[in-house]
Amino acid sequence: MIALSSQQPLTPEEYLELEKTSEIKHEYIDGEIYAMAGGTGNHNLISTNLLILIRNRLNDSGCRTYLSDMKVNLQNCRRFFYPDLVVTCDKKDDPKLSYVHFPKVVIEVLSPSTESFDRGQKFEFYRSIPSLQEYILINSDHYLVECFRRQKQDIWLLQTYKGLGAIAYIEALDIYAPLSDIYAMVEFEPATEI
């Protein structure tokens, strides 16, 4: 990620105001903004498939599922990220705002340009959110879902689901998600299928 140059760091209020009118989305880290790249068709299909699957399974649970236009606010407005999907079950998260404070599940669909940040520093930032129970990474090059689940004493356990016949379990939401549904209509080059 490359910070966009500015004379001085933006306040959280300035950042939120900028995002209201910006033609592109930016993530915000300690006063610096970072432009986000657009995704591929496969990235979009995976995100849409997940939204439909999770929303249909949550039904009238009181939880809300948001796509990539909803930000997650971390560390008292010091950081804002746009995950591909976020699920909140906390009534304190106001749907009239452009961000949530209390995500239960965050899902990122990996792309080559953001994968190391999503796996590294972004995951480190997300782990600081007490309400977050699962951080899920979806590979956009082959059939692979990685679920990081918070355990006691803030230990994160990884469970991997591999292959089109696998069924991922989103424990925090008690949802079984077949990879065949997550990757419906997604086409990979034969050499990249695993």
Polymer length of the chain: 194
Each of the 194 residues of the chain gets a pLDDT tens digit; together they read 444 545 688 999 999 999 999 989 999 999 999 988 778 899 999 999 999 999 999 988 999 999 999 999 997 778 999 999 999 999 999 999 999 999 999 999 998 888 999 999 999 999 999 999 999 999 999 999 999 999 999 999 999 999 999 999 999 999 999 999 999 999 887 754 45
Residue 165 resides in a domain = yes
Domain count, the chain: 1
CB atoms within 10 A of CB 40: 14
Angle at 23 between CA 21 and CA 24, to 5 degrees: 115
The string of DSSP codes covering 95-150 is TTSSEES-EEEEEEE--TTTHHHHHTHHHHHHTT-TT--EEEEE-SSSSEEEEEEE
Residue 7 resides in a domain = no
Q: What is the domain-level CATH number for residue 146?
A: 3.90.1570.10
- Residue 122 belongs to domain spanning: 39-192
Residue 112 resides in a domain = yes
